[in-house]
Amino acid sequence: MGQSFTDHFGRLIEILVRDGNAVKKGDVLARLDDRESKAKLAELDARINYWREEQARQASLVQRGVASRESFERSQSEYLAAEASLAQARQRLADLTLTSPLDGTVLRQDGEIGEVVDKLQILFWIGRQRPLRIKADVDEEDIPRIAAGQRALIKADAFPSRPLEAKVSEITPKGDPTSKSYRVWLSLPDETPVMIGMTTELNIIVREVPNVLLVPSSAVTPAGVLVIDNGRVRLAAVKIGARGKNAVEIISGVKEGELVVVDPPSTLKDGQRVNAINRVPTDIRRPGDDR
Protein backbone atom coordinates (compact mmCIF):
# COMPACT_ATOMS: atom_id res chain seq x y z
CA MET A 1 0.00 0.00 0.00
CA GLY A 2 1.43 3.34 -1.00
CA GLN A 3 0.71 6.76 0.43
CA SER A 4 1.26 10.08 -1.28
CA PHE A 5 1.50 13.18 0.89
CA THR A 6 3.20 16.56 1.01
CA ASP A 7 6.15 17.36 3.27
CA HIS A 8 5.16 21.01 3.60
CA PHE A 9 2.18 23.26 4.02
CA GLY A 10 0.49 24.16 0.73
CA ARG A 11 -2.78 24.90 -0.99
CA LEU A 12 -4.23 22.36 -3.42
CA ILE A 13 -4.71 23.94 -6.83
CA GLU A 14 -5.19 20.87 -9.04
CA ILE A 15 -6.33 17.27 -8.52
CA LEU A 16 -5.79 14.99 -11.51
CA VAL A 17 -7.08 11.62 -10.22
CA ARG A 18 -9.96 10.44 -8.08
CA ASP A 19 -11.10 7.27 -6.28
CA GLY A 20 -10.85 4.18 -8.44
CA ASN A 21 -8.53 5.64 -11.10
CA ALA A 22 -5.64 3.47 -12.29
CA VAL A 23 -2.20 5.09 -12.01
CA LYS A 24 1.39 4.27 -12.92
CA LYS A 25 4.46 4.97 -10.83
CA GLY A 26 5.43 8.61 -11.37
CA ASP A 27 2.01 9.75 -12.60
CA VAL A 28 1.07 13.23 -11.35
CA LEU A 29 -1.75 13.00 -8.81
CA ALA A 30 -2.12 16.61 -7.70
CA ARG A 31 -0.35 19.95 -7.56
CA LEU A 32 0.03 22.46 -4.76
CA ASP A 33 0.36 26.22 -5.19
CA ASP A 34 3.97 26.79 -6.30
CA ARG A 35 4.02 30.56 -6.92
CA GLU A 36 5.92 31.35 -3.74
CA SER A 37 8.40 28.54 -4.36
CA LYS A 38 9.04 29.67 -7.92
CA ALA A 39 9.65 33.24 -6.72
CA LYS A 40 12.09 31.94 -4.10
CA LEU A 41 13.84 29.86 -6.75
CA ALA A 42 14.26 32.91 -9.01
CA GLU A 43 15.66 34.90 -6.08
CA LEU A 44 18.20 32.19 -5.32
CA ASP A 45 19.14 31.88 -8.98
CA ALA A 46 20.02 35.58 -8.99
CA ARG A 47 21.91 35.22 -5.74
CA ILE A 48 24.01 32.31 -6.93
CA ASN A 49 24.82 34.12 -10.17
CA TYR A 50 26.02 37.11 -8.15
CA TRP A 51 28.26 35.04 -5.90
CA ARG A 52 29.57 33.04 -8.87
CA GLU A 53 30.71 36.26 -10.51
CA GLU A 54 31.97 37.65 -7.21
CA GLN A 55 33.99 34.51 -6.59
CA ALA A 56 35.62 34.81 -10.01
CA ARG A 57 36.33 38.53 -9.44
CA GLN A 58 37.88 37.89 -6.03
CA ALA A 59 40.03 35.11 -7.45
CA SER A 60 41.34 37.51 -10.08
CA LEU A 61 42.03 40.21 -7.48
CA VAL A 62 43.89 37.74 -5.25
CA GLN A 63 46.11 36.72 -8.19
CA ARG A 64 46.93 40.37 -8.80
CA GLY A 65 47.59 40.94 -5.10
CA VAL A 66 44.82 43.52 -4.81
CA ALA A 67 42.45 41.53 -2.56
CA SER A 68 43.11 39.32 0.42
CA ARG A 69 42.73 35.56 0.51
CA GLU A 70 40.01 36.01 3.17
CA SER A 71 37.82 37.98 0.74
CA PHE A 72 38.04 35.19 -1.81
CA GLU A 73 37.22 32.52 0.77
CA ARG A 74 34.21 34.55 1.95
CA SER A 75 32.87 34.81 -1.60
CA GLN A 76 33.45 31.08 -2.08
CA SER A 77 31.59 30.27 1.16
CA GLU A 78 28.66 32.48 0.11
CA TYR A 79 28.56 30.78 -3.29
CA LEU A 80 28.48 27.29 -1.77
CA ALA A 81 25.73 28.33 0.67
CA ALA A 82 23.71 29.75 -2.24
CA GLU A 83 24.14 26.44 -4.11
CA ALA A 84 22.80 24.49 -1.12
CA SER A 85 19.83 26.83 -0.75
CA LEU A 86 19.08 26.52 -4.47
CA ALA A 87 19.07 22.70 -4.24
CA GLN A 88 16.65 22.87 -1.31
CA ALA A 89 14.39 25.28 -3.19
CA ARG A 90 14.32 23.01 -6.23
CA GLN A 91 13.38 20.05 -4.06
CA ARG A 92 10.70 22.15 -2.37
CA LEU A 93 9.25 23.04 -5.75
CA ALA A 94 9.34 19.39 -6.87
CA ASP A 95 7.56 18.33 -3.67
CA LEU A 96 4.60 20.52 -4.56
CA THR A 97 3.83 18.12 -7.42
CA LEU A 98 2.50 14.88 -5.90
CA THR A 99 3.24 11.73 -7.88
CA SER A 100 2.26 8.10 -7.47
CA PRO A 101 4.87 6.00 -5.60
CA LEU A 102 3.81 2.79 -7.41
CA ASP A 103 1.57 1.21 -10.03
CA GLY A 104 -1.94 0.60 -8.74
CA THR A 105 -5.36 2.10 -8.13
CA VAL A 106 -6.40 5.18 -6.21
CA LEU A 107 -8.08 3.46 -3.28
CA ARG A 108 -9.01 6.73 -1.62
CA GLN A 109 -8.47 10.40 -2.38
CA ASP A 110 -8.85 13.10 0.27
CA GLY A 111 -8.62 16.86 0.03
CA GLU A 112 -10.28 19.32 -2.32
CA ILE A 113 -9.05 22.19 -4.50
CA GLY A 114 -8.40 25.28 -2.41
CA GLU A 115 -7.78 23.33 0.80
CA VAL A 116 -4.58 24.00 2.71
CA VAL A 117 -2.84 20.73 3.59
CA ASP A 118 0.05 19.96 5.91
CA LYS A 119 2.91 17.49 5.89
CA LEU A 120 1.04 14.84 7.91
CA GLN A 121 -2.11 14.83 5.81
CA ILE A 122 -2.43 11.83 3.49
CA LEU A 123 -4.07 12.88 0.23
CA PHE A 124 -3.97 9.62 -1.73
CA TRP A 125 -3.97 5.94 -0.86
CA ILE A 126 -2.48 3.96 -3.76
CA GLY A 127 -2.54 0.17 -3.90
CA ARG A 128 -3.97 -2.92 -5.51
CA GLN A 129 -7.41 -4.29 -4.73
CA ARG A 130 -6.28 -7.89 -5.17
CA PRO A 131 -4.78 -9.94 -3.70
CA LEU A 132 -5.85 -8.96 -0.18
CA ARG A 133 -4.01 -9.72 3.04
CA ILE A 134 -4.97 -9.50 6.70
CA LYS A 135 -2.49 -8.39 9.34
CA ALA A 136 -2.87 -9.96 12.78
CA ASP A 137 -0.83 -9.84 16.00
CA VAL A 138 -0.30 -13.15 17.79
CA ASP A 139 0.96 -13.48 21.38
CA GLU A 140 4.52 -14.75 21.65
CA GLU A 141 3.26 -17.70 23.75
CA ASP A 142 1.14 -18.89 20.83
CA ILE A 143 3.43 -18.08 17.90
CA PRO A 144 5.27 -21.47 18.05
CA ARG A 145 1.95 -23.10 17.10
CA ILE A 146 1.51 -20.92 13.99
CA ALA A 147 2.97 -21.93 10.62
CA ALA A 148 2.61 -20.85 7.03
CA GLY A 149 -0.18 -22.70 5.23
CA GLN A 150 -2.53 -23.02 8.21
CA ARG A 151 -6.18 -22.23 7.57
CA ALA A 152 -8.01 -19.49 9.42
CA LEU A 153 -11.69 -18.74 9.85
CA ILE A 154 -12.74 -15.12 9.44
CA LYS A 155 -15.64 -13.36 11.08
CA ALA A 156 -16.51 -9.97 9.57
CA ASP A 157 -19.34 -7.79 10.86
CA ALA A 158 -20.18 -6.88 7.26
CA PHE A 159 -20.87 -10.55 6.43
CA PRO A 160 -22.26 -12.10 9.64
CA SER A 161 -23.84 -15.14 7.99
CA ARG A 162 -21.16 -15.92 5.42
CA PRO A 163 -18.29 -18.26 6.31
CA LEU A 164 -14.95 -16.84 5.20
CA GLU A 165 -11.49 -18.35 5.15
CA ALA A 166 -7.89 -17.22 4.89
CA LYS A 167 -4.49 -18.87 4.98
CA VAL A 168 -1.37 -17.98 6.93
CA SER A 169 1.13 -16.75 4.35
CA GLU A 170 3.90 -15.15 6.37
CA ILE A 171 5.17 -14.63 9.92
CA THR A 172 7.35 -11.61 10.67
CA PRO A 173 10.62 -12.98 12.14
CA LYS A 174 11.03 -10.24 14.77
CA GLY A 175 8.43 -9.71 17.49
CA ASP A 176 7.37 -6.57 19.33
CA PRO A 177 9.02 -6.67 22.79
CA THR A 178 6.50 -4.16 24.17
CA SER A 179 3.30 -5.96 23.23
CA LYS A 180 5.04 -9.37 23.26
CA SER A 181 3.44 -10.31 19.96
CA TYR A 182 4.39 -11.26 16.44
CA ARG A 183 2.87 -10.00 13.22
CA VAL A 184 1.20 -12.62 11.08
CA TRP A 185 -0.01 -12.07 7.52
CA LEU A 186 -2.90 -14.07 6.10
CA SER A 187 -3.78 -14.24 2.41
CA LEU A 188 -7.37 -14.11 1.18
CA PRO A 189 -8.78 -15.73 -1.95
CA ASP A 190 -9.59 -13.35 -4.81
CA GLU A 191 -13.32 -14.07 -4.53
CA THR A 192 -13.50 -12.92 -0.91
CA PRO A 193 -16.07 -10.15 -0.31
CA VAL A 194 -13.90 -8.52 2.39
CA MET A 195 -12.86 -5.01 1.39
CA ILE A 196 -9.75 -2.97 2.13
CA GLY A 197 -9.90 -1.36 5.56
CA MET A 198 -12.42 -3.75 7.14
CA THR A 199 -11.74 -5.20 10.57
CA THR A 200 -12.13 -8.92 11.13
CA GLU A 201 -11.97 -11.51 13.88
CA LEU A 202 -9.64 -14.41 13.13
CA ASN A 203 -9.41 -17.96 14.39
CA ILE A 204 -6.24 -19.64 13.18
CA ILE A 205 -6.77 -23.39 13.10
CA VAL A 206 -3.78 -25.02 14.78
CA ARG A 207 -5.44 -28.40 15.28
CA GLU A 208 -8.50 -30.12 13.86
CA VAL A 209 -10.38 -32.96 15.53
CA PRO A 210 -13.47 -34.31 13.74
CA ASN A 211 -16.79 -35.00 15.50
CA VAL A 212 -15.95 -33.47 18.87
CA LEU A 213 -18.51 -32.68 21.56
CA LEU A 214 -18.83 -28.95 22.27
CA VAL A 215 -20.51 -27.05 25.05
CA PRO A 216 -20.77 -23.27 25.47
CA SER A 217 -17.79 -21.77 27.30
CA SER A 218 -20.15 -20.21 29.85
CA ALA A 219 -21.40 -23.67 30.86
CA VAL A 220 -17.99 -24.79 32.15
CA THR A 221 -17.20 -23.96 35.78
CA PRO A 222 -14.10 -24.83 37.83
CA ALA A 223 -16.04 -27.71 39.36
CA GLY A 224 -17.33 -29.08 36.08
CA VAL A 225 -20.54 -28.80 34.06
CA LEU A 226 -24.08 -28.74 35.46
CA VAL A 227 -26.28 -31.23 33.62
CA ILE A 228 -30.07 -31.40 33.89
CA ASP A 229 -31.17 -34.98 34.50
CA ASN A 230 -34.85 -35.81 35.12
CA GLY A 231 -35.64 -32.30 36.27
CA ARG A 232 -32.70 -32.05 38.68
CA VAL A 233 -29.26 -30.51 38.42
CA ARG A 234 -26.32 -32.89 38.41
CA LEU A 235 -22.71 -31.76 38.63
CA ALA A 236 -20.62 -33.65 36.07
CA ALA A 237 -16.84 -33.73 36.34
CA VAL A 238 -15.54 -33.30 32.81
CA LYS A 239 -12.28 -33.69 30.94
CA ILE A 240 -11.71 -30.66 28.75
CA GLY A 241 -9.88 -30.50 25.43
CA ALA A 242 -9.46 -27.41 23.26
CA ARG A 243 -10.89 -24.11 24.42
CA GLY A 244 -12.31 -21.47 22.12
CA LYS A 245 -13.89 -18.09 22.63
CA ASN A 246 -17.44 -19.43 22.50
CA ALA A 247 -17.13 -23.18 23.00
CA VAL A 248 -15.13 -25.82 24.85
CA GLU A 249 -14.34 -29.36 23.75
CA ILE A 250 -15.56 -32.04 26.16
CA ILE A 251 -13.57 -35.26 26.01
CA SER A 252 -15.50 -37.08 28.74
CA GLY A 253 -18.04 -36.48 31.48
CA VAL A 254 -20.97 -35.28 29.34
CA LYS A 255 -22.72 -37.18 26.57
CA GLU A 256 -24.17 -35.88 23.34
CA GLY A 257 -27.81 -34.86 23.75
CA GLU A 258 -27.61 -34.05 27.47
CA LEU A 259 -28.87 -30.65 28.61
CA VAL A 260 -26.25 -28.41 30.21
CA VAL A 261 -26.80 -25.21 32.17
CA VAL A 262 -25.48 -22.11 30.44
CA ASP A 263 -24.33 -19.26 32.72
CA PRO A 264 -25.26 -21.13 35.92
CA PRO A 265 -26.01 -18.83 38.88
CA SER A 266 -23.91 -19.31 42.00
CA THR A 267 -27.04 -20.31 43.95
CA LEU A 268 -27.68 -23.32 41.73
CA LYS A 269 -26.58 -26.49 43.55
CA ASP A 270 -26.11 -30.15 42.71
CA GLY A 271 -29.39 -32.04 43.09
CA GLN A 272 -31.61 -28.96 42.98
CA ARG A 273 -34.88 -29.31 41.05
CA VAL A 274 -35.25 -27.02 38.02
CA ASN A 275 -37.48 -26.37 35.03
CA ALA A 276 -35.30 -26.61 31.94
CA ILE A 277 -35.62 -24.29 28.95
CA ASN A 278 -33.97 -25.90 25.95
CA ARG A 279 -31.98 -23.20 24.15
CA VAL A 280 -29.45 -24.12 21.45
CA PRO A 281 -26.67 -21.50 21.20
CA THR A 282 -26.12 -20.23 17.68
CA ASP A 283 -22.62 -18.87 18.18
CA ILE A 284 -20.76 -22.12 18.94
CA ARG A 285 -17.99 -22.82 16.49
CA ARG A 286 -15.26 -25.42 16.36
CA PRO A 287 -12.90 -24.75 19.27
CA GLY A 288 -9.59 -23.20 18.44
CA ASP A 289 -7.45 -20.40 19.68
CA ASP A 290 -8.73 -16.97 18.65
CA ARG A 291 -6.13 -14.81 16.96
Please tell me whether residues 112 and 28 are part of one structural domain. Answer: yes
- Name the domain boundary from 173, 204, 235: 204
Please tell me whether residues 172 and 218 are part of one structural domain. Answer: no
Please tell me whether residues 91 and 40 are part of one structural domain. Answer: yes
Residues 6+ apart with CB under 8 A from 20: 105, 106
**Chunked mean pLDDT (size 10), the chain, 291 residues:** 56 88 90 83 81 77 72 78 82 83 88 84 85 90 91 88 89 92 92 86 82 89 89 90 84 89 87 77 47 40
Please tell me whether residues 29 and 79 are part of one structural domain. Answer: yes
Expressed in angstroms, the distance from the first to the final Cα of the chain is: 23
Please tell me whether residues 46 and 75 are part of one structural domain. Answer: yes
Q: Given this model, what pLDDT does residue 237 score?
A: 92
CA-wise closest residue to 212 among 289, 161, 285, 282: 285
Q: Given this model, what pLDDT does residue 186 score?
A: 92
Please tell me whether residues 77 and 65 are part of one structural domain. Answer: yes
Q: Is the pTM of this model over 0.85?
A: no
Residue 157's CATH number: 2.40.30.170
Residue 49's CATH number: 2.40.50.100
Task: State how many domains the chain has.
Answer: 3
Q: Please give the residue range of the domain that contains residue 291.
A: 208-291
CA-wise closest residue to 105 among 129, 121, 133: 129
* Rounded-to-10 torsion of CA 124, 127, 130, 135: -90
Residues 6+ apart with CB under 8 A from 118: 6, 8, 9
Q: Given this model, what pLDDT does residue 290 score?
A: 44
Strand (E) or helix (H) holding 54? helix 35-63
Q: What is the DSSP letter of 176?
A: B
Please tell me whether residues 7 and 121 are part of one structural domain. Answer: yes
- Name the domain boundary from 126, 142, 160: 126
Q: Given this model, what pLDDT does residue 291 score?
A: 40
Please tell me whether residues 31 and 99 are part of one structural domain. Answer: yes
Q: Given this model, what pLDDT does residue 287 score?
A: 44
Please tell me whether residues 256 and 243 are part of one structural domain. Answer: yes
> Beta strand pairing status for 239-243 and 247-252?
antiparallel
The Cα angle at residue 69 between residues 63 and 74, in degrees rounded to 5: 120
